[in-house]
Structure 1
Amino acid sequence: MPRYTFYQLDVFTDQAFGGNPLAVFPDAEGLDTAQMQRIAREMNLSETTFVFPPTDPQADFKVRIFTPASELPFAGHPVVGTHWMLAHLGRIPLTEPVTTARLELGVGVRAAALYVENGRVTRVVMDHQRPVFGATASDAQIERLARALGLSPAAILDTGWPVRVVSSGVWQLFVPVRSLTDVQSLGADRIDAAALGAVFAELDPETHCHDSVMVLTLETTQPGVDVHTRMFAPALGVGEDPATGSATGGLGAYLIEHGIVAAAPPTTHLVAEQGLEINRPSRLGIEIDGVPGNVEMVRVSGQACPLIEGVLEW
């Protein structure tokens, strides 16, 4: 009878029941792709990770990431949370003040800096890829996108900022909205997933922006926060994601590239809030190296809170 221990933790928060839940299977040897997909569907979280010995000698571990519907090559809260949990379990030897660890992912080996105090991780900062900027939506596409999201076209067009596909590891669509009230009016149950998918396919025919859209506004609910976001990915089985580290890297690049937030070289530091509308408050740090026209690198940081330990057997 197969028997696998798993752990669940909340990521991009320091409080239980906030942030984005993640399930981690730290000893996944023996599981095949179909089994991992079934397990992720059973866990029914936005992502579940499975840890294996590395096949690349530059990596410490190999990690595969699954949503309830499909495998992802890269995702933010699974990378932060898996690093945190492996350190919590003693699988990553910790050295103060910073320990570097490397995961082998679908996008290659990626490093993370684990900040350590009194033998415990206090923050994980993960590297993304150098940002790449893709297609920009036309006004006609923005009108269709707005209707698919349940917004008026003016709610997007009034910002004067582009709707654009960006990748810092995963292609995603970024949609600026004029006010916090407009963003708060959205809901996964109001989205026309088919219409949304059609816009994705036009803008990014190869990956469909990985079927995910991040809506953003510079109006925030908390002091010390720079941007308020919501992420929807209905085609991935994720109606609304409470905290999206992969997209938050692309978000930082988007904000600097288009001058929406002034660059403060060599590294601009921003804070994003997400998940408030679904009672999963999350806070994500963003570091952006470079200036408009030359955004060199982005990193995303956060905390985590271990919550559940269990065993899956069948």
Structure 2
Amino acid sequence: MSKLFKQVDVFTSEKFKGNPVAVFFNGETLSTEEMQAIANWTNLSETTFVLPATVPEADYQLRIFTTGRELPFAGHPTIGSCHAVLEAGLVRPRNGQVTQQCGAGLVQLLVDESSGNIKFKLPYYKHTTIDDEPLIEEVAESLGMQRDGIKSIVLVEDGPHWLTLELSSAQDVLNVTPNYGQIDKLSNNGFIGYSLFGQYPDGSYEARNLFIENSLGVEDPVCGSGAGADASLLAELYGFQGDLVIKQGRKLRRDGHISVTVEEQSNNDNRYSIYVGGNAITCVDGKW
């Protein structure tokens, strides 16, 4: 019996300009080993598998794989998979909300059916201060830049562990020339890669996410968890609240746009609630 498959472009309204995710339905028919083999075959940054929820609060369960490992949570696969299950008619928003079950717990998604925008609430974030100056110097060197171009740096766990760097400007982000060999060695310090961002004069941000996968250097076209990490730095370091726009993918000839909202809260382990969103569009609709 054939099962549904969709390949969805995320953080864009135009096909082939965002970050693709492969979404396989009926994931309960597969073993973990089979899921990993399929994710390796698709060769995308992430591949997801939709399964029935095992808790009553969730609408569906999602498992997320890179080509080499399973992730508890990731941003663009969450939005792309939500788009896919809505388009397939498997779930309907309740009061504009959908709840995803994944390795990081329950993830709340806000769905604007008129615009197609889908936002997820970052399940959590944890910050670890980075004050090792020799390490920071090495990080700057691995990016082909001077130490004084790094305004702030913190290790953020929000599913993945991102070494999150605020650079002096958006242009500085675009000018980065990564040395992936050095990044590979430095990632032994407890992070999967770098989340870089810097501000344009108009107040929006440019971002890049650089990491190692299967011993190869990779740049993520548009990264939701990275945007969440970036926003958490702005919130915790500067007390930022409100809306911001993150652009990503320029170095890869993509045109990703991420909308982020930061709100202060008082009933959670984190001081701020962070919502990361964007549009998605199906590029491939088929069966497997």
Query: Given the two structures, how large is their TM-score scaled by the length of structure 2?
Result: 0.90
Deviation at 1:167, TM superposition (A): 2.7
Residue 94 of structure 1 deviates from its aligned partner by 4.4
User: Following superposition of structure 1 onto structure 2, how do residues 46-195 of structure 1 map, counting pairs within 5 Å?
Assistant: 46-94=45-93, 98-117=95-114, 122-156=116-150, 161-187=151-177, 190-193=178-181, 195=182
Matches of 2:280 and 2:258 in 1, distance apart?
11
- Report the counterpart of residue 263 of structure 1 in structure 2: 240
Q: Write the distance in 2 (CA, Å) between the matches of 1:131 and 1:64.
A: 20
Q: State whether structure 2 residue 34 is matched by structure 1 residue 35.
A: yes
* CA–CA distance in structure 2, aligned partners of residues 115 and 181 of structure 1: 32
Shift of 1:235: 3.1
Aligned to 1:258, what secondary structure does the other structure show? helix
State how many pairs are aligned.
283
Q: State the match for 1:205 in structure 2.
A: none
1:235: which partner in 2?
Answer: 213
1:154 CA drift (Å): 3.3
Quote the sequence identity (%): 28
CA offset at residue 177 of structure 1? 2.0
Distance 1:130 1:71, change over 3 A: closer
- Any stretches of 5+ residues in structure 2 without a counterpart? none
Deviations along 1:59-114, one digit per CA (max 9) or x if unpaired, are 1111100111111100000111111111111111246xx52111110011111111
Q: Distance in 1 between matches of 2:51 and 2:125?
A: 28
Give the superposition deviation at 1:151: 2.4
Match of 2:199 in 1: 218
Matched position secondary structure for 2:101? strand
Task: Give the deviation of 1:238 after TM superposition.
Answer: 6.4
Cα distance between partner residues in 2 of 1:26 and 1:137: 44
Give the conservation status (yes or no) of the 8 Å contact 1:179–1:219. yes
| Residue identity matched to 1:155 | G
Q: Does structure 2 retain, via aligned residues, the 8 Å contact 1:131–1:295?
A: no
Deviations along 1:239-288, one digit per CA (max 9) or x if unpaired, are 110111112112111012222xx634xxx111111111101110111111
Aligned residue type for 2:194: V
- What is the deviation of 1:4? 4.3
- Structure 2 distance, partners of 1:5, 1:58, is 24
Helix, strand or coil at the partner of 1:196 = helix
> Deviation per CA, 1:89-141, whole angstroms, max 9, x where unpaired?
1111246xx52111110011111111123xxx611111113432113142211
Q: Which whole-Å CA distance do the structure 2 matches of 1:78 and 1:253 have between them?
A: 20
Partners of 1:31 and 1:25 in 2: CA distance: 10
Given that 2:235 and 2:272 are in contact with CA atoms closer than 8 Å, whether structure 1 keeps it comes out as: no
Contact 2:92 2:98 survives alignment (8 Å): no
SS at match of 2:96: strand
Deviations 1:198-228 (A, max 9, x none): 43333xxxxx22x1211111127xx5x6211
Aligned with residue 262 of structure 2, among 280, 288, 294:
288
Return the alpha-carbon distance in structure 1 between the equivalents of residues 163 and 186 of structure 2. Answer: 10
SS at 1:16 equivalent: coil
CA contact (8 A) 2:8 2:284 kept: yes
- Give yes or no for contact 1:130–1:295 (8 Å, CA) kept in 2: no
Which of 268, 284, 287 is matched with 1:308 structurally? 284
Letter in 1 for 2:49: F
* Residue identity in the other structure for 1:287: T
Instruction: Judge conservation of contact 2:180–2:212 (CA < 8 Å) in 1.
Output: no
SS at match of 1:249: helix
Cα separation, 2, equivalents of 1:198 and 1:84? 37
CA contact (8 A) 2:159 2:225 kept: yes
